[in-house]
Structure 1
């Protein structure tokens, strides 16, 4: 445990979310499993369990596993447009999960349901107008992800997006969590200076010894430099930052006609693995089309994504899958435990803050 953290590291986030340190581990599909989430919680941060790639029953088992490993608060991330989102919220409430995290803005009824069950609600946003909207709807916090972040991302850098959001949310009770490009104590201090209350990291937590990702796949990440990612729309039809592997380069070069048969095949594979019925897949596609303003070809490509992620992150075959990654991958060269990572961030940030105050 970090000794004597600087008083400035006790923030609105640590008080509201009841954790020791203003550090969040993001919900990454096939990565943010119980061991990583529990290790983050035990180290004093907020771990987020990723449920978008889990069935309802798998989520129930995962929540139980986290609770067995830690008694600290943790979050569950889910898709606001999932057909069973309300049922998952009910499960989380019964199990005492304290935070509901959403990849997109949840509707007002989901926010109310989560609040009624005693949960804090935190969506991810990528634009100032989105922050304004969800604040009006009554969310408790926002994860503000700049363009440097991995997975689905926008084009505005964190250094420009974050101050816009903190300015527009000033005077509200909405907690701001900065994401995109963070990996150490210097970034935490910078985020606080911009008005944020905490930082969130995905790639940095993926590259820890507590992450379930296989060593061979981690080595691919560690070998990447700061130019080793690409924002592609060929993965699922919308902007997605991933490692610039040979597989992704081939996706970029494939003709439109050639993309869809693979997408259909992978969607059917995911349906079989997840146990999702065909009618549910159609309903989910309709919800995605409406909530994300996707075309039908983009919906089809989005259905392809879970299998492409699984091929690399679970099956350990990066040559046949995609690996979401932030640009920060290029400055990471080690695999600490979550405890070592968070302790190091807090120690470095505390030292900087004391130097600035002297």
Structure 2
């Protein structure tokens, strides 16, 4: 299936595996790439040295195009951009809008720039700055999310920009791909669906929690870091929602200390990251610290396998996913189902649309 996305990045199928922290590592990304979709390596939870090592591991596992997800506001963002350019990575994606200068630097080096956005105005801004495409995530998507449904946000963005739009938030199968194409998208991006594959390194007990979840077990809360965050409801979420300020601050400091040791950040850098998140938002200090070390909360589940005191970011589609296929099986299934759905659609020539009478002779 050829679309503006497949032509832009050189993959066989218009499917993207999103850059999920602690999840989208070399194994998942290379398996996705070998399946003909676009795998995106998550770098926010890596040091620059680890990122270069991870990129080289992906390259040793596949010759297909792949991407790297960056934090545009990271202190070492330009160093990471140089790694992407030096290593010949095809795509750079961003969770936050990159600057005009950063986009230009990447494009001058031949890198395709695809920011993720959650509002029409953000898409218009990055398109004006030269982004090659955008990933549009509706409120059904996992992690930090907005409150506008994909079915409303997607057509808004498609109408607003003249670059390829990739739909995210609520997609997991071939029917969703066909629906996204009907809205005018060039493909779909999926996070939770790729997390729940046999190629994902997420521990089995955590995968089991996702598979057990119903759509009502996936909640949006501001208790973790003060921002709307879609995740599975866990003991941690319930505790934070009911905790007083002192208890929440104590918990945040303990988690921040652990993340600081793993990440190599200083307390000053950790607080700076938290304040950057706090800017323009009415966050408590405990939420500010939690915002800075949310990666640690994710690591507890996605790496350590903690299902009790951890954050498990999740799209709402977790409630309808029931198996763990390989990436190859998943992508093949999505594309085969999309082909069947397209073939089953009634031909426009055979549909007896009633005339409005406006243009009748």
Pair 1:345 & 2:334 matched: yes
Q: Which has the larger radius of gyration?
A: 2
Aligned to 2:358: none
Post-superposition shift, 1:287?
Answer: 4.0
Q: Give me the whole-angstrom Cα distance separating, in 1, the residues matched to 2:140 and 2:283.
A: 25
- Trace 1:116-265 onto structure 2 (pairs within 5 A): 116-169=108-161, 172=162, 174-265=163-254
1:152-177 CA distances to partner (integer Å, 9 max, x unpaired)?
A: 100001010101111111xx2x1100
Q: Give me the whole-angstrom Cα distance separating, in 2, the residues matched to 1:293 and 1:320.
A: 26
Matched positions, count:
346
CA distance, structure 2, for counterparts of residue 250 and residue 285 of structure 1: 21
Write the distance in 2 (CA, Å) between the matches of 1:62 and 1:105. Answer: 24
Instruction: Kindly state the Cα deviation for residue 222 of structure 1 after the two structures are TM-superposed.
Output: 0.3
- CA distance in structure 2 between the partners assigned to 1:153 and 1:112 by the alignment: 27
CA distance in 1, matches of 2:89, 2:225: 30
Asked whether the equivalents of residues 108 and 137 of structure 1 are also in contact (C-alpha less than 8 Å), the reply is yes
Name the structure 2 match of 1:331: 320
CA spacing shift, 1:293–1:117, aligned 2, 3 Å: farther
User: Quick one: higher RCO (CA 8 Å, sep 6+), 1 or 2?
Assistant: 1
Any runs of at least 4 consecutive aligned residues in structure 1 with deviations exceeding 6 A, and if so which?
none
Whole-angstrom distance in 2 between the partners of 1:163 and 1:190: 11
Aligned to 1:41: 33
In the alignment, which residue of structure 1 is the partner of 2:356?
A: none
Structure 1 residues without counterparts, runs of 5 or longer: 1-8
In 2, the alpha carbon distance for the partners of 1:257 and 1:278 equals 20
1:107 aligned onto 2:96: no
Instruction: State TM-score, norm by structure 2.
Output: 0.93
Is 1:322 matched up with 2:314? no
Query: Normalised by the size of structure 1, how large is the TM-score?
Result: 0.93
Q: Say if 1:288 and 1:294, in contact at 8 Å, map to a contact too.
A: no
